[in-house]
Amino acid sequence: MIPKKGMIKASDAFERIIHWWLAITCLLLIITGLGMMFHSFNFLGIPVGGLKNLKLIHNFTGILFIPALIFAILIWWKEAGIFKFPEDLEWIKCAGGYLWHVENPPETGKYNPGQKAFFLAVAGFGVLMVISGLIMWFPLSLPRALVSWMYPLHALGLLVIFPFFFIHLYLGTIGVPGSAQAIFTGYVTRSWAEKQCPKWLKEMEESGKLEVFGEEKGASH
């Protein structure tokens, strides 16, 4: 997939690598976690030789998930980790026009409140799952009562991240046409940016930081 002339740069190569790294490890953790947690999903262990091997895959995928989560928090916290009021509240009141028709939904920055909620869910519960997972894996000499609490907390993380992950997947593909281009190429169309993140687009143009494919940086108006 090659961007067309006039498309706007929304993410750089490093951001896309971290996004895919986080997404793939998160998906593997969800699948392997379901296979171990619920008896009806135990069949997921068959292709890898049983639940013991499924657990090994889960644990070592968790190790790979940790640096991806750290990088994600460092990269996106400033733009996606902080709600801004009252503008974000106005968007929340009308759900940004996603659930019902809204004539003129409030303008948002690069990430709308829904995306911020997804990011905070992954960041917050991701950290919870890393800590609880490591304690479950290496209980050491910690109190048994503390270790036992890690299991329901770990399960809670799955129950929160699971729906958020697939809602994000839907909105990033067929739910909001044009979004997938940002994930694959780093570029989006101007019409997409004007609709999804108009405030960010204006700020980038005014600051001269907007990068347009096929044009010199800051040349677009």
What is the CATH classification number for the domain harbouring 123? Answer: 1.20.950.20
Q: How far is CA 118 from the centre of its chain?
A: 6
Would 93 be classed as within a structural domain?
A: yes
Would 136 be classed as within a structural domain?
A: yes
In the numeric block, the tokens 């026009």 are attached to 97
> Which tops the pLDDT comparison, 125 or 178?
125
Reply yes or no on whether the pLDDT at 194 is more than 80.
yes
- C-alpha distances out from residue 52 to 32, 44, 47, 55, Å: 11, 11, 12, 5
Would 219 be classed as within a structural domain?
A: no
Would 53 be classed as within a structural domain?
A: no
**Spatial separation of the C-alpha atoms in residues 187 and 7, rounded to whole Å:** 6
CA dihedral 170→190→214→18, nearest 10 degrees, is: -30
Would 180 be classed as within a structural domain?
A: yes
Q: What is the pLDDT of residue 107?
A: 85
b/e map 58-71, b = 16+ CB within 10 Å: beebbeebeebbeb
pLDDT band at 220 (very low <50, low <70, confident <90, very high): low
Would 145 be classed as within a structural domain?
A: yes
Would 167 be classed as within a structural domain?
A: yes
Tell me the pLDDT tens digit for each residue of 79-110. 999 998 888 898 888 887 777 777 778 888 89
Would 163 be classed as within a structural domain?
A: yes
- pTM equals 0.88
**Spatial separation of the C-alpha atoms in residues 82 and 142, rounded to whole Å:** 34
Number of domains in the chain: 1
Helices (H), the chain: 13-37, 51-80, 87-93, 113-137, 144-170, 180-184, 190-196, 198-207
Span 104-120, mean pLDDT? 89
- Residue-number span of the structural domain to which 203 is assigned: 70-207
